[in-house]
Amino acid sequence: MTEPHPVLSVRGLSVRFLMPGGRRIAAVTDAHFDVAAGECLALIGESGCGKSVLASALLGLLPANAQAAGQARLGDLDLLSADERTLARRVRGRLIGLVPQSPAAHLTPVRTVRSHLEETVAALTGVRGRAAVRAAALAAAERAAFPADHLDRHPHQLSGGLAQRAATALALVGDAPLVLADEPTTGLDRDLVNRTVDELRRHVDEPGRTGGTGRALLMITHDLAAAERIADRVAVMYAGRIVELTDADTFFGPTGPRHPYSHGLLQALPDRFFTPIPGMPPELGDLPGGCAFAPRCGQVSPACAAPPPTTGGLACHHPRPAASAPAPEDLRA
C-alpha cells in the first residue's frame, strides 16, 4: 500500500535577507520536512533561529528584501512560487489557518472580535443567514475558550491572552487542511495552554467538513511542555537549520534526542536539570563555516570545522548514542 501524500512537503527551503551594502543574512537554510494528515509537528528552538521566518515564507508574508528558494508544496500548489492573488484568495485562511505570533497586530483595531469572527465565518464556511453566522461565530469562540461576554470588545481592550484566544478561534474557522500556529500559547496560563493545544490537536484529529483523515498542524513554540502534550514529531532548529527531526516519544523519552543542542534544550527545563546552554546563538549574518553550534558544544572536535552531514534526521558530527528504536525519517527522504 502506498503512503498518502503529506499535507505539507518542504524541500530545500532557504530564506536570505538582502541588507544595505550587499550583506546577506541566512535566516533559514535548506529546510526539509513533511507534515502528514493527522500529524502535529512541533518546530522548536531559541528565539532568532529562523522559525517564524520559515512560517512567513510558507504564507508569502516575507518582507521585500527577502529571497526564498526551494519548494513548499501544499497539495498541488507550491507556496513559494504562488503569486499574491493566489495566496490571498486561496491559501491564507482556506488552505492554511494561521495563529500568528503577535495576534493583536493581525486584528483590525476598529472591529470587534464578534465582527471578526462573523466575517470570517461568512467568507470561509458557506454559512448563510444572520442567526446561523452569529451562532457559528459563537461556537468558534467557545472552541478557543474566548469568553462570550468579551466578543463585543475591540482588540485594544483585550489582554494578550485574550487576543491569542481570538486569533486561535479565527484560525480554526476555515477548516484549513494545515494549521500553522506560531507561539499559540503566548500569554496564557497553564490551564489555558493545555486547553488551547488540546483544541488544536482535536482539530487535527477530526475529519474536516468535507471528510478526509484529518488536518495537519505545524506548531512553532518555545513551550516544550505544550509540544510534549500534543506533538507527534519534533523538529529542532538552530541558526537557521533544522538540526534534528525525530519522534516526540523519542525526543521526550528516557533516551532523549541525539543532537547536543536538542539535549541541552531539555536539560534547561525547570523540571529537569535547569542547566542553561552556555554561550549565545550566533548572528545569522555572521555564521561560522562549520557547525554553528560548535562554540557552545561540549563534544566539539576538529571535525566540527566542516558542516555536519545530515543523516537519519540528524545533522551532527558527534551525536549522542542512538536508542534501540527505529531511526526517524531522513530529512532528505
**143 lies in some domain:** no
DSSP 132-161: HHHHHHHHHHHHTT--GGGTT--GGGS-HH
Each residue's pLDDT expressed in tens, for the chain with a length of 333 residues? 445 679 999 999 999 999 998 889 999 999 999 999 999 999 999 999 999 999 999 999 999 999 999 999 998 999 999 999 999 999 999 999 999 988 877 899 999 999 999 999 999 988 999 999 999 999 999 988 899 999 999 999 998 889 989 999 999 998 899 999 999 988 888 998 998 999 999 889 887 654 455 699 999 999 999 999 999 999 999 999 999 999 999 999 998 999 999 999 999 998 888 999 999 999 998 898 899 999 999 999 999 999 998 998 999 999 998 764 444 444 433
| Pairing relationship of beta strands 233-238 and 40-44 according to DSSP bridges | parallel
Strand order in the sheet with 178-182: 96-99, 178-182, 216-220, 40-44, 233-238, 241-247, 314-315, 310-311
Contacts of 275 (CB under 8 A, 6+ apart): 264, 267, 268
**170 lies in some domain:** no
**289 lies in some domain:** no
pLDDT at 329: 44
pLDDT at 3: 57
Q: What is the pLDDT of residues 237-291, one digit of tens each?
A: 999 999 999 999 999 999 899 999 999 999 999 888 899 999 999 999 889 889 9
Contacts of 34 (CB under 8 A, 6+ apart): 6, 8, 9, 10, 329
Containing structural domain, residue 46: 8-108+177-231
Q: What CATH number should be reported for the domain holding residue 81? A: 3.40.50.300
Backbone angles phi, psi at 207, to 5 degrees: -65, 150
**71 lies in some domain:** yes
**125 lies in some domain:** no
**258 lies in some domain:** no
**39 lies in some domain:** yes
Q: What is the pLDDT of residues 18-40, one digit of tens each?
A: 999 888 999 999 999 999 999 99
Number of structural domains the chain divides into: 1
**85 lies in some domain:** yes
Q: What is the pTM of this model?
A: 0.90
pLDDT at 14: 97
pLDDT at 288: 87
- The count of other CB atoms within 10 Å of the CB of residue 321 is 6
Cβ density class 102-124: b for 16+ within 10 Å, e for less: ebbebbeeeebbbebbbbbbbeb
